[in-house]
Chains A and B, each alone.
Chain A
Amino acid sequence: AQKITQTQPGMFVQEKEAVTLDCTYDTSDQSYGLFWYKQPSSGEMIFLIYQGSYDEQNATEGRYSLNFQKARKSANLVISASQLGDSAMYFCAMGNYGGATNKLIFGTGTLLAVQP
């Protein structure tokens, strides 16, 4: 069975600093995808970044990058130059490679608070 673990219930970061949100996963599949979503207090789920298990380069999307360490089964999200608007809940999720045709398994989330 697939499982996502996020061990940080909450984190603080100063504005303009970088922050790393941890995510470890467990799966026996060779082909899988890892995702990060942001959920602000308004409730919507915003897709941030995707990493496929066969992708050799770490994914980046603007200020978001995914530190993918396959041997350690970790997929940490790095947010550079934090902004006040980054304060939100962040969820790590696993799906199949490509992510489009299968359900997502979510972690419990990390609540990030960006301080001025």
Chain B
Amino acid sequence: DSGVTQTPKHLITATGQRVTLRCSPRSGDLSVYWYQQSLDQGLQFLIQYYNGEERAKGNILERFSAQQFPDLHSELNLSSLELGDSALYFCASSSGHGAGQYFGPGTRLLVL
């Protein structure tokens, strides 16, 4: 158990809908990262937050947005969903010191 929690574990929705994925980082970790894993694109970095502020952006679509709240949990919002958004979405956290990012169990999103 990495200490990072993600909800929900599975999500099935329809095209055009909007969903919210939630992540709670390890206790004390200030950085939260979101990654997308799909068969065609592999594991891709989406966005990073550090202590409530956006720190870095990767290949995140304009239809996607994220935020980190004062209690350090983070949410990834996916809107106007398309079939191609079906993927495993990971949240990871780190303390800012030392090595490693610790991943949550992921949210498996299926868009029908």
**Interface positions of A (Cβ within 8 A of B):** 33, 35, 37, 43-47, 50, 52, 91, 93, 95, 98-106, 108-109
Q: Which of B45, B55, B102, B106 contacts A47 (CB 8 A)?
A: B102
Do A47 and B103 contact each other (CB < 8 Å), given the known contacts A91-B43, A106-B43, A109-B42?
Answer: yes
| Chain B proximity of A116: nearest CB distance (Å) | 28
Residues in B with CB closer than 8 Å to A101 are 31, 50, 55, 94, 96
B58 within 8 A of A: yes
B94 contacts which of A43, A46, A100 (Cβ < 8 Å)? A100
Question: Contact residue range for chain B?
Answer: 20 to 34
Tally of contacts, chain A with chain B, CB under 8 A: 71
Query: Do B108 and A43 have beta carbons less than 8 Å apart?
Result: yes
Cβ contact within 8 Å between A35 and B100? yes
How far apart are A64's CB and chain B's nearest CB, in angstroms? Answer: 13
Q: A43-B88, A44-B106 are in contact. Are A33 and B99 (CB under 8 A)?
A: yes
Instruction: Please measure, in the bound complex, the distance between the C-alpha atom of A33 and the C-alpha atom of B106, giving whole angstroms.
Output: 24
| Contact in complex: A100, B43 (CB < 8 Å) | no
Binary interface profile of B, 44-75, with partner A (CB < 8 Å = 1, else 0)?
11001010000110100000000000000000
Interface residues of B in 89-112 (CB under 8 A from A): 90, 92, 94-106, 108
Kindly name the residue among A33, A91, A98, A103 whose own CB sees the greatest number of chain B CB atoms within 10 A. Answer: A103
